Structure 1
Amino acid sequence: MSRVLVAGVDTSTQSCKVRVTDALTGALVRFGQAKHPSGTTVDPEAWWRAFLEAAQQAGGLADVSAIAVGGQQHGMVLLDEQGAVIREAMLWNDTSSAPQAEELIDMLGAQGDDAGNGDDAADAAAVHARGVARWVEEVGSSPVASYTLTKIKWVAEHEPDNAARIAAVCLPHDWLSWRIAGYGPVDEGADAHLDALCTDRSDASGTLYFDAARNAYRRDLLALGLTASSNASPEPAALAHAERIVLPQVLGPHEAAPTRAASDVAGADVPGGCVIAPGGGDNAMAALGLGMAVGDVSVSLGTSGVAAAVSEQPVRDLSGSVSGFADCTGHFLPLACTINASRILDAARAALRVDYDELTDLALAAHAGADGMTLVPYFDGERTPNRPDATATLTGMTMRNTDAANIARAFVEGLLCSQRDCIELIRSLGAPIDRVLLIGGGARSVAIRTLAPCILGMDVSCPATDEYVAIGAARQAAWTLDGGASAPEWPVSIDAVSTGVPTPQVYEAYVRARG
């Protein structure tokens, strides 16, 4: 009997990766990759071309029985009635809509507001704080420029003609899944089958107009984004438009999406064709690829740092620091993100004029706490905590302790302390944290692996470097094909489990330094 193949797609900011996988074992069979254009806005057709190229590199998908797409979150794809893209997609890293994020917070905070106490600054601060709390209560997260709704509002304010043409709004993974399923733009008067657009809870929970805890879209909040003004209440025309817009159907964790009768993209040689799985957001797909369960938290050290935990219950962080996302299995994925992560090590290397190995040797030669030296690593401002205008500080320097080894140690400890901030925030909301999985480019640093358990206060598992978003997507595809109660058990290779003596005094000093 021939083996059954599934494909997992990772359509990230930088590239598209296609992993053809054995559905039973999770073993890699074939792989392909193609670059995406750089920038913060992209024509989605570039994603389609990259997918086709990556699929060809992977030996084609004719023998694939199921496919799922994991994708960069928050990107805004606007379609007209013919299914054509209205304008370039604004990606998660497009910060143009930062003012609109603040407007949305204040709009919700001002609803039902009394006259105030006469102190304009105090009144404005109270409205803003109330707005953050209300957004968190309504959809689990408070607006920042990354989220989809802020970008919709930017279009409503800056491109009203484009806003008026919106017939559907979807996310990058939604749009690519729809195209793989055989749909796309049509001639005027033809049916574009916008109702075949599908998504999942994990990606929808990053839009600001989907409540994952109640599994429902919030069209009243979508209407706030379609309102060109900053009035507290949405405009009547915006409310009517929000009701007409097609939003992707939110599929269950292993529910198949609708497809056309035949597809020349995937499953051409498979009886019955290729099943299209729900797909999901990249962080949730990585969690599925890592086999994460309730009590696990992943710490991903790339350009940014992301701590994501699996929780049975939704979390509500009224400060807005922790995003209340959903995962791909029916649970939740509370997530906190730092702007600064692995580049902190690059800053240390540049300052000390050493390579990574030399940086590790220096850091491990110093004592815990760097003899009183503490780095607060907010080089590019920070998101957790929300200090966009902050800069990095190196404190506690004396003539006695100022040497290369202590500086190296302070930089490594500062990076890890910033990630512990994220973990402690998530833990404070009631999410259990029993195991830490350390992933990302920064996790390859021996200094990071060695000191992580000391700073985080618990053993740290280091999975082998792999394409976990694509693996998670393939695993979901196999789950959708199989139809079982849970995702298939695929082995995850752990390179090492790092242990160490906890050094709580280091984190305590860091907390005092950052204030």
Structure 2
Amino acid sequence: MPVVAGVDSSTQSCTVELRDAVDGTLLGSGRAPHPPTFPPVSEQPATTWWSAFTTALPAAIADAATRGTAVTPQSIGAISVAGQCHGLVMLDAAGQVLRDVKLWNDTTSAPQAAALVTELGAAGWAEAVGSVPTAAFTITKLAWVAEHEPQLLRRLATVLLPHDYLTYRLTGRTVTDRSEATGTGYYAAHEQRWRTDLLTRFVDADLDWATMLPTVLGPAEPAGTLIPDVARQLGLRPDVVVGPGAGDQHAGALGLGIRSGEVVYSLGTSGVVLTTTDDPVHDASGWVNGVADAAGGYLPLVSVLNCAKVTDTFARLLGVDHDELARLALAAPANPDRPVLAAFLDGERSPDRPRARGVLAGLTTATTREELASAAVEGVLLALVRGHERLRVAGAPADGDVLVTGGAARSAAYRQLLADLLRTPVRTCDAPEATARGACLQASAVLAGADIRQVRDAWRPATLTVTEPRTPARPDVSERYARLADWDGLDSPADPPISLSTEDFV
């Protein structure tokens, strides 16, 4: 039985799934943690990703044995790596990492991002690369290095992204894919080329950027086979083929099998609302990232920094576990003047407000634990629902079925409150690790030389649950939320809102 391995190297951990290469049946899975990080300075050593991968892979093989499947390291025919987006991996001429990797949620390059947008204009960036850079984008991190650690640029030989680094460790090749490349701020997917002129203009005019950037592979184009020493280390065959990889959300969209018009709410460390389209989307407002997908099309999305960690925080403050937090949130009365949370606990990416902090409005002496729990869940979702509307405004098809995925999708409160806010059914599907599943799907297409879209459709997971909106409908608080989330005072947490009237938010 041919077996494929799919890797999800996320911010928090590395997950490896093993699946039947033909029908996608899950055979085993393993996981290992990554070092914890916290904005504004959010960095990880790239070598820890490799350590986690070399722990998670044998764990997946061992898990397959406990399930009674005859999987051995020699059974694996292909591997693909999906990973957290945007992070800046800097290698010297010997292939050694020059510094810890600034991750997507590192907000220290916010001043550089603002300067870049001021110089070229939001519309100029949207036209050039499909997205308006924020502190998440790789180009802003390079600009930060140019300003704060310019000596590293003199030693820089290769610029990679997180999943590229693991592919490099596996194959020795510096390659990437369209989905990850479009998150850098210097790749134009609609023109299929690196925009080295932007790096020359905004980072360093003396470097030969064209020699430093990886080759962009097609959706099912092999990156190569394993380095012999690596194959021996992992116990794999040296002819194992390695896929091009993908960004985590992009691989997740593959794993979910989404079709044009369908909308995915991905609820993890960050929150993402996305859809897929054959045509590029360029949003000069900066809300929608018009990135490429992992199947040859495009994946317009809105990403927020604050998602499941918000409810993690409120669970801690209330002294409850996640199940109890969900029970409390679902039991809260649907009052029109209920508390509303702008959940910008660690700054925010969409909207681009890296200095913002969270604010809870509408508290009274009668406020209950149930209302606080509900406000936490609803505050996360209101930000994403706002992003969903921005997808529509930008011209993306976003009126089809709604699918919710990610760790927080296991919460009945998240599913129910999302259905209530959208006033439409919300479904989950049989893909609890959609990113690793999508990486397996890509590996299968690479191994078979197949069209990745055909494999995606054949592997489309079954629906597990459908959550209907409650009747009668909960009173809409979106306007109250918008006024709170747009308040300038969120960016100046040290300044007390002494002139702020409660009438602003009720």
- Give the TM-score normalised by structure 2: 0.84
1:510 to 452, 470, 481: 481
Whole-Å Cα distance in 2 between the matches of residues 17 and 371 of structure 1?
42
2:464 to 495, 501, 511: 495
> What does residue 162 of structure 2 align with?
172
Q: 1:498 to 1:84 in 2, by over 3 A?
A: same
Instruction: Report the CA distance between 1:413 and its aligned residue.
Output: 2.8
Farther-moved stretch of structure 1 (365-374 vs 289-298): 365-374
Q: 1:314 to 1:361 in 2, by over 3 A?
A: same
Instruction: Report the CA distance between 1:269 and its aligned residue.
Output: 7.0
> What does residue 256 of structure 1 align with?
222
* Mapped contact 1:371–1:406 kept (Cα < 8 A): no
* Mapped contact 1:62–1:265 kept (Cα < 8 A): no
The structure with the larger Rg is: 1
Q: 1:79 to 1:360 in 2, by over 3 A?
A: closer
> What does residue 43 of structure 1 align with?
45
2:407 to 438, 441, 445: 441
Residue type of the alignment partner of 1:498: T
Whole-Å Cα distance in 1 between the matches of residues 354 and 43 of structure 2?
22
Map 1:47-66 → 2, pairs under 5 A: 47-59=49-61, 61-66=73-78
Q: Give secondary structure in 1 for the equivalent of 2:476.
A: helix
Instruction: Report the CA distance between 1:491 and its aligned residue.
Output: 4.5
Whole-Å Cα distance in 2 between the matches of residues 471 and 212 of structure 1?
24
> What does residue 125 of structure 2 align with?
135
Q: Give secondary structure in 1 for the equivalent of 2:465.
A: strand
Whole-Å Cα distance in 2 between the matches of residues 346 and 303 of structure 1?
10
* Mapped contact 2:170–2:230 kept (Cα < 8 A): no
> What does residue 209 of structure 2 align with?
242
Pairing 1:91–2:57 present:
no
Q: Give secondary structure in 1 for the equivalent of 2:32.
A: strand
> What does residue 185 of structure 2 align with?
208
> What does residue 11 of structure 1 align with?
9
> What does residue 272 of structure 2 align with?
306
Q: Deviations over 1:261-304 (max 9, x none)?
A: 8565289876x812221111111011111112211222122232
> What does residue 247 of structure 2 align with?
281
Q: 1:435 to 1:143 in 2, by over 3 A?
A: same
* Mapped contact 2:170–2:227 kept (Cα < 8 A): no
Number of aligned residue pairs: give it: 465
> What does residue 117 of structure 1 align with?
none
Q: 1:27 to 1:106 in 2, by over 3 A?
A: same
Map 1:18-417 → 2, pairs under 5 A: 18-39=16-37, 40-59=42-61, 61-108=73-120, 131-181=121-171, 183=172, 196-227=173-204, 235=205, 237-238=206-207, 241-243=208-210, 245-259=211-225, 262=228, 264-265=230-231, 273-350=239-316, 352-397=318-363, 402-417=367-382
Instruction: Report the CA distance between 1:206 and its aligned residue.
Output: 0.8
> What does residue 189 of structure 1 align with?
none
Farther-moved stretch of structure 1 (345-354 vs 43-52): 345-354
Q: 1:107 to 1:283 in 2, by over 3 A?
A: same
Whole-Å Cα distance in 1 between the matches of residues 133 and 307 of structure 2?
22
Instruction: Report the CA distance between 1:203 and its aligned residue.
Output: 0.6
Q: 1:393 to 1:176 in 2, by over 3 A?
A: closer
Whole-Å Cα distance in 2 between the matches of residues 358 and 36 of structure 1?
27
Whole-Å Cα distance in 2 between the matches of residues 428 and 24 of structure 1?
39
Q: Give secondary structure in 1 for the equivalent of 2:123.
A: helix
Whole-Å Cα distance in 2 between the matches of residues 261 and 340 of structure 1?
39
Pairing 1:426–2:391 present:
yes
Q: Give secondary structure in 2 for the equivalent of 1:484.
A: coil
Whole-Å Cα distance in 2 between the matches of residues 337 and 144 of structure 1?
11
Residue type of the alignment partner of 1:103: A
Instruction: Report the CA distance between 1:151 and its aligned residue.
Output: 1.8
> What does residue 497 of structure 2 align with?
none
Q: 1:132 to 1:53 in 2, by over 3 A?
A: same
- Uncovered stretches (5+) of structure 1, i.e. residues with no partner: 109-130, 184-195, 228-234
CA-atom RMSD, angstroms?
A: 2.7
Percent identity for Structure 1 against Structure 2 = 43
Q: Deviations over 1:411-446 (max 9, x none)?
A: 433332222011111121111121221122322222
* Mapped contact 1:368–1:506 kept (Cα < 8 A): no
Q: Give secondary structure in 2 for the equivalent of 1:34.
A: strand
Whole-Å Cα distance in 2 between the matches of residues 510 and 211 of structure 1?
35
